[in-house]
Structure 1
């Protein structure tokens, strides 16, 4: 349950997470429930085997996607670990050396192809790659790995990649962003727990910074490997139309004093009145994100979640969090805090809440708190014995249904189609969360028409029922 720290400078996009006292209301009404939804009821797996299902849930359709047409005079720039910023940057043999050299030249429709190499920040730089120039709806600016290459962005400053100044229509695709954790000890980080200016402990991997009334929209963060940042893995603050898809996000949030998480959507901003899905957090794998340093505003450890949608009441669009695998995080696997209009569908959460201070309170593997209009369906929640797998903390119109919970878990809310059973993973100890053929999660979920593929991109079953969790077994 988190809120991002509202810092006063552009290079302080550290993510902090907070508490319900920031926006609680004493006039909350009882949650609306689906027909048949009951609290505290244990449902056995026999209720869902091969049962044709129906639901009164009204889904929000995915927005139509217009193809981005080719742009006359669009330029492709090349960057290489063996390049030179005095080059033209217009071919592989005349590539630039730094990402920023290319970024400073981009116009709508341009592409920056990044070749093998290690890209680092200068001593006084706030980012390795600072993006402040926008594309357009039909001419995005794209920063992509050159085909077959695996470039690495290594940093010890505020951000590996920052998107700010209202930059919009931007794509980041296929990059590896590495923070400074390997060079930090816990004892050093704890000695810096009051030092808000220390970039060595507080740096984010990828940050979309929308404060200071310069807000970004239409940002795609795709196919990246994001890890070992003391602060957030992927953070979007006051942004709209954001897609975070198919990223691997791990070992982040360890040393920051701002209270961070692996993937965080904070203060979602409405750039228009569209009420459909506009923010997508899909097909990501998040693990080992946790806090070791107390959040400075609370004086204690509060976060280190796999994925959080945070302090976003009033957002007019919907958020879809789907097909994610999240495990071994210090905080929750996935949760919505002080937010509304969120759908958390077909995710697999396994043994999160690893931080002792968080495990003791046990708020959930996947849950919502202080939120409204949140639907939590088709998920697998495998928590520690005796620890809560979900919660109902001052929610309004938050529904859980068609989920599967591990036996011996503490279950605060159940829906009429929820079940308590072993999901039967292929090999959870090896982090293989596919389902055995005998799993009760197979063919027992609710078909969510807006979600047509699973974690691997395979089609969801087109018949009467889908599987629960991130994988669809065929």
Structure 2
């Protein structure tokens, strides 16, 4: 009898286990569809299904009282500036969260988990991630906030093998620190093998037959035609589908623009001012969540925002902290062009949270950060965003910094921007490249103009201990920068108490740096490695033209072919830094690592050697179209036109070591890089 009872009890226990497993697998995606991988998953966006099915929490109360208030998971607003509005906190060992995902491609992935502990915590929290019940990460540990902003850091695990198709992820909390396991913000999955084929960004134009209209005198019950337009931006944002455009008629719109749908690779969704009309989106009195914008593109793809006037974000509200003008997060293939952004509490334009293939072109940003106390920038790209093009923008008269690239961004081009009168009352930087706490690399900063800044000019740094490497500063013009630190350089600054600030493989080549209060180029970071200073003009900079601090190892600095005597500018008082025919800068440079075009996009060299400084004397544009077999510079497919097809060829080979114009290597240097892009850009349409 006892034996039968034991057998019966065993069967009951097995049935209980099986039904428990079955129940755990019935959770459903929070958004209605599985989260895509590669991509970002907010930790608070766990599945639907409730306690024991979608999650397990040790109590039934949402102790943070935010977001999913009917669930027992503890959710609060995050203080982490790395994106996302909420975080899961008050965590304890034994709890778990489950997510339905769809993996696009079989391959090897990396996981980046944004997590942290408050600074007074002792010990470390421990957790792991399971895929379909299998631990794929091993033990991950949360750290205190000693060296990291707001107590947060990033935990990275590589070599995770995933197969294409649907899966269940389970984030399992294993061990408490003194105050729980830690706060959890988001998970980022990137594919590392096979490397993904890039999809080029295109500039889409409105297509007749797919155009709708919004006007202040319209009605959302109208069909959205020119004669019978809609009234609100919200109507358009909710209605547009791939391939459709909304022309916004002149007027003031006191509402947010938040696109609901994505476009696709061949059919973008376009939000555009009606040609020739002034469209104003005014945020006065509109409550905007932290880390979001008056125009907010989150988790969307193939979108264009064009020609709009965006003002007063964070004005006349209870709390405007981290209220942006235009914000792009967790998005890809987005174009922000031709907009005017002004009087913004925090960032004017913010590209964040692993956004990719973003173009920010020909915008004007002014009076940003008016309410900010955190030293933010007017136009910024942050937190693992990549394949970014920031060009032709005018950024000026802001409280803090101008253009910033920080916190693990990579494959970024910043060129032909004008940045001036920044740091009003706060002595801030015009263009700042800062790794912060992450690995940041492959950044080209070229042909920008920086002037009349109360703070520094163009600076590279690693404030939080992340490695900054492979950065090129070329053909930039920096003048009349007023602060005592200098025009361009590498700084050892810290705001995180990090003991280390690694910076390596930085090139300063063919820049013109004139009349700056704190010196021409200043390098005082003792951890720098492999720094090249070549072909630059440093002239009439107060306190010195080339200032290398004694703490910097001399063996790590290469400086040659720089000019510190009178370069004979055409007219320095009128800020014309082209060279006179008698200039000692002519033919005085080196060809090593030098750009093959100058600030104006003209070919180097024009004479027997490369000139020093941002301009090449006597250079001409690439040859005009002639009926010869010689291909044009920038014409990758040799069809006689320099157009978007050639750009796509360049883009698909960017950062690859291949040779020849047919691969986008227009200067035949053996590497497809930003110089090749500028050759294409300056000949586009020819």
TM-score by length of 1: 0.64
- Which fold has the larger relative contact order, with Cα–Cα distance below 8 Å and residues 6 or more apart in sequence? 1
Shift of 1:95: 3.1
Measured in 1, the distance between the counterparts of 2:562 and 2:240 equals 50
| Greater strand proportion | 2
> Residues 252 and 290 of structure 1 are in contact (CA less than 8 Å); yes or no, is this contact kept in structure 2?
no
Is 1:198 aligned to 2:319, yes or no? yes
Decide whether the 8 Å contact of 1:309 with 1:335 is kept in 2: yes
- The residue aligned with 2:475 is 346
Aligned twin of 2:614: 469
Distance 2:331 2:365 in 1: 22
CA contact 2:441–2:470 (8 Å) conserved in 1: yes
Gaps of 5+ in 1: 11-19, 24-62, 122-127, 185-194, 210-214, 293-300
2:385 alignment partner in structure 1? 269
Q: Could you tell me whether the CA contact under 8 Å between 1:177 and 1:225 is conserved in 2?
A: yes
> Counterparts of 1:179-194 in structure 2 under 5 Å?
179=312
Give the secondary-structure state (helix, strand or coil) at the position aligned to 2:358.
strand
2:399 aligns with: none
Please tell me the root mean square deviation across aligned C-alpha atoms, in Å: 4.4
Which of 305, 310, 322 is the equivalent residue of 1:172? 305
- 8 Å CA contact 2:83–2:352 kept in 1: the answer is no
Q: 338, 342, 351: which is aligned to 1:236?
A: 351
Contact 2:298/2:328, CA 8 A, preserved across alignment: no
**1:104 match: secondary structure:** helix
Matches within 5 A, 1:34-433: 65=200, 75-91=210-226, 93-121=227-255, 128-131=256-259, 133-156=261-284, 158=288, 161-179=294-312, 198-199=319-320, 203-209=323-329, 215-238=330-353, 239-269=355-385, 278-290=411-423, 292=425, 304-311=428-435, 318-338=442-462, 339-352=468-481, 354=482, 359-360=483-484, 362=485, 364-365=487-488, 367=490, 370=501, 371-387=503-519, 389-393=521-525, 394-409=527-542, 410=544, 411-413=546-548, 415-421=559-565, 433=576
How far 1:217 sits from its partner (Å)?
Answer: 2.5
Query: Structure 1 residues 391 and 95, CA, compared in 2 at 3 Å: closer, same or farther?
Result: farther
Q: Is the 8 A contact 2:348 2:369 kept in 1?
A: yes
Range 102-111 or range 309-318, more displaced: 309-318
Q: 1:436 to 1:306 in 2, by over 3 A?
A: same
How much has 1:259 moved relative to structure 2?
1.2
Determine if contact 2:384/2:410 at 8 Å carries over to the other structure.
no
1:58-115: per-residue Cα shift (whole Å, max 9, x none)? xxxxx99576789999832333344443333243x33333333222223233333333
- Match of residue 5 from structure 1: 81
User: 1:335/1:135 Cα in 2 relative to 1: closer, same or farther (>3 Å)?
Assistant: farther
Distance in 1 (alpha carbons) for counterparts of 2:338 and 2:209: 23
- CA positional deviation for 1:202: 5.4
Instruction: Report the 3-state secondary structure (helix = DSSP H, G, I; strand = E; otherwise coil) of the residue aligned with 1:412.
Output: strand
Q: Report Cα offsets for 1:423-463 as digits up to 9, x if no partner.
A: 66667777x555364566677667789876856xx545574
Q: Matched residues in 2 for 1:140 and 1:396: separation? A: 43
Larger Rg: 2
In 1: Cα distance, 2:565 partner to 2:384 partner: 36
SS of 1:256's equivalent in the other structure is: coil
- Rate the CA distance shift 1:66–1:251 in 2: closer, same or farther, 3 A: closer
Contact 2:283 / 2:294 at 8 angstroms: preserved in 1?
no
Distance in 2, matches of 1:71 and 1:174, equals 13
Rounded Cα–Cα distance in structure 2 between residues aligned with 1:424 and 1:79:
55
Question: What is the CA–CA distance in structure 2 between the aligned matches of 1:397 and 1:168, rounded to whole Å?
Answer: 38
Q: Cα 1:164–1:95, aligned 2, differ >3 Å: closer, same or farther? A: same
How far 1:256 sits from its partner (Å)? Answer: 0.8
Q: Aligned with 1:100: secondary structure?
A: helix
> Could you say what secondary structure the match of 1:137 adopts?
coil
| Change over 3 Å in CA distance of 1:152–1:428 after alignment to 2 | farther
Structure 2 residue ranges without an equivalent (≥5): 1-79, 87-145, 150-197, 388-408, 463-467, 493-500, 549-557, 621-686
- Corresponding residue SS for 2:298: coil
* Cα distance, 1:143 vs structure 2: 2.7
1:228 and 1:72 map into 2 onto residues whose CA distance is 33
Alignment-derived partner of residue 578 in structure 2: 435
Over 3 Å counting, the alpha-carbon distance change for 1:119 and 1:341 in structure 2 is: farther
For residues 282 and 71 of structure 1, do their structure 2 counterparts lie closer, same or farther at Cα, with a shift above 3 Å needed? same
Moved more, 392-401 or 69-78: 69-78
Whole-Å Cα distance in 1 between the matches of residues 431 and 382 of structure 2?
A: 11
Q: What displacement does 1:471 show?
A: 9.6
- SS of the residue corresponding to residue 265 of structure 1 reads strand
Task: Count matched residues.
Answer: 377
